[in-house]
Structure 1
Amino acid sequence: MGTIVSFHAHPDDESISSGGTLARAAAAGHRVVLVFATRGELDAAVPGVLEPGEQLSVRRTAESYASAAVLGAQRVEFLGYTDSGPMGAPSNDAPYSFWRANVEHAAKLLAVILDEEEPDILTTYDDNGGYGRPDHIQVHRVGARAAELSAVPVVAQVTINRDWMTRGVRGVTEAGQAPEGWEAPREVPTFGKPESEITHRVDAVDFVDQKRASMRAHASQIGPEHVLLAMPEPMFAMGMGVEFFIVDPVPNPASAPEVFEELFTPLRR
């Protein structure tokens, strides 16, 4: 069996971006390890979720373990940096924020875990972090360097397939299947990547229930009214049941890890 280490900026990122892939891997008997750079303490909590005096960082830590249990992950680690907040915020420059972290030092921290686990695959984010958030961009940088230090065979950058999303929204709208009052999301050029830059997909439609449950585990961030959880089940399965990755370089099929060949399907043959 193989091992996947999945590196993320904040708790709940693992659920939304790659929860289906991780659940599918775990269900097949592969080892899944979650690593978070921060505890996401700067995000606003869903109103009424926290107990009086409860710290958000403590709650989000607990939610990470609950999500891991749903997905089948067997280990959860935190690198210990603080949340940097959105791009341009004063918190970007706060001491110990992940955005300010020395990439080499942070990569060595991650490499300790990678050396222990000897993973076949490390998942990170694309070079824009999916949508330009500082800590997400830093995950790309730190993950790439850590993979070099630990000689990880495959680095899979999770991303958003901009073209897939556009086609899906158009199809739902034209078929009249959109919920009443639902508005299609506005296309943002910096959101995700065009399909031409994406190399692989993971089909995880059979694991969308686990993905949704993993998202629900992050109750301080993803409430029942959240746009993703409010999606009808068929729409959720269509939009969230396939996850996309950029793998560069693509491993030679003759030497590629079995878990990679099992889970990842090339977009182009």
Structure 2
Amino acid sequence: MATLVFLHAHPDDEASQTGGTMALAGELGHRVVWICCTDGSQGTRSGETDESVAEVRRREARASAEVLGVDRLVFLDHLDSGMHGWDSNANPDAFMNADPLEVGRDVARLLDEEDADVLIGYDWHGNYGHPDHIMVHKVMNAAADLAARRPRLLQSTMNRDAIRAGYDPENKAGFDPDAPADDGNPVGTPEAEIAWKVNVNEVVMLKREALAAHASQEDAAQLIAMPEGFFALAFRHEYYIEDGVSPMREAWPF
């Protein structure tokens, strides 16, 4: 059995991007560690509580971790940078402005504590250009270089070709993966650059339940509003890049 460390930018990223893999890994007996880099404070504010956004999101993260069978959840508590172009980007304490090596040292210490076999982060542009997701990619690489035992690196991504296959440009139905995302690049990664297609169908409803734990957030609420059958079809696969592994194979990577 292996120790898998998942490095995510915000509470709810774990559910939407790697929730199925995390749940499957736990069920198969692997140790699952989730490191949450930011406090999520730029997320949706709820009027139903006196808690701060960061407090709500920390509570929701713990609930999601319980659903997914996470063995250890660590909060690094860097300030959420917000989306690309927001005023919050200019805050010198925002995660996007951190020193990747400094944060990488913190993550490397956790990797050493866990004697981690695998570190899972994001692709080079964080799937869709979110500045905190891009920073996760930088920190992931720095941490792997600094760890006493270098872990395997997997990068969570979206399959641009699979998304394109479901898009109807004539009727504008579905999502156009070739349209510019936050950083001006199209979302995800071409299938030719992806190593692993992980079928998470047997735990996809756990993924949905984990997203439901983040109900204060508009993005999560929109996803769980999908009919269950459509959600299962849309989220039954998760994709990962791994250097030196090609072509893409549908298999369990661990």
SS in 2 for 1:263: coil
Cα displacement (A) at 1:249: 3.9
- 1:41 aligns with 41
Matched, 1:245 2:243: no
CA contact (8 A) 2:7 2:34 kept: yes
After TM superposition, the structure 1 = structure 2 runs for residues 245-264 of structure 1, keeping only pairs within 5 Å, are 245-250=240-245, 263-264=252-253
1:59-98 equivalence runs, <5 A: 59-98=56-95
Q: Deviations over 1:7-43 (max 9, x none)?
A: 0000000000000000000011111011011011012
Q: Secondary structure of 1:245's partner?
A: strand
Q: What amino acid sits opposite 1:156 in the alignment? A: L
- Say if 1:184 and 1:129 are closer, same or farther in 2 by CA, change over 3 A: same
Deviations 1:207-252, CA, capped at 9 Å, x for gaps = 01100000000111157851x222222221221010001111449x
Is 1:18 aligned with 2:18?
yes
State the identity %.
Answer: 41
- Residues 70-149 of structure 1 aligned to structure 2 (within 5 Å): 70-149=67-146
Whole-Å separation in 1 of the counterparts to 2:194 and 2:220: 31
Secondary structure of 2:107's counterpart equals: helix
Are 2:188 and 1:192 equivalent residues in the alignment? yes
Distance 1:169 1:262 in 2: 26
Cα contact 2:199–2:251 (8 A) shared by 1: no
Q: Distance in 2 between matches of 1:223 and 1:166?
A: 21
* 3-state secondary structure, aligned to 1:119: coil
Return structure 1 stretches of 4+ with deviation > 3 angstroms: 222-225
Bigger Cα displacement from structure 2, 125-134 vs 240-249? 240-249
SS at match of 1:196: helix
- 2-structure distance, mates of 1:193, 1:239: 17
**Where does residue 160 of structure 2 map in the other structure?**
162
Counterpart residue identity of residue 238, structure 1: L
1:30 alignment partner AA:
H
Instruction: Decide whether aligned partners of structure 1 residues 34 and 225 sit closer, same or farther in structure 2, where only a CA change above 3 A counts.
Output: closer
Q: Which runs of no fewer than 5 residues in structure 2 stay unpaired?
A: 181-185
What is the aligned residue count? 243
Q: How far 1:264 sits from its partner (Å)?
A: 2.1
Give per-residue Cα distances to partners, 1:92-142, cap 9 Å, x unaligned.
121321111011101001111111011111110000001001000000000
Structure 1 residue ranges without an equivalent (≥5): 174-181, 252-260
Q: Does 1:233 align with 2:228?
A: yes
Relative to the length of structure 1, the TM-score reads 0.84
* Root-mean-square deviation (Å): 2.3
- Residues 1:210 and 2:203 are matched in the alignment: no
Correspondence for 1:258: none
> What is the one-letter code of the residue matched to 1:217?
A
TM-score (norm 2): 0.89
Q: Secondary structure at the match of 2:224?
A: coil
Moved more, 89-98 or 53-62: 89-98
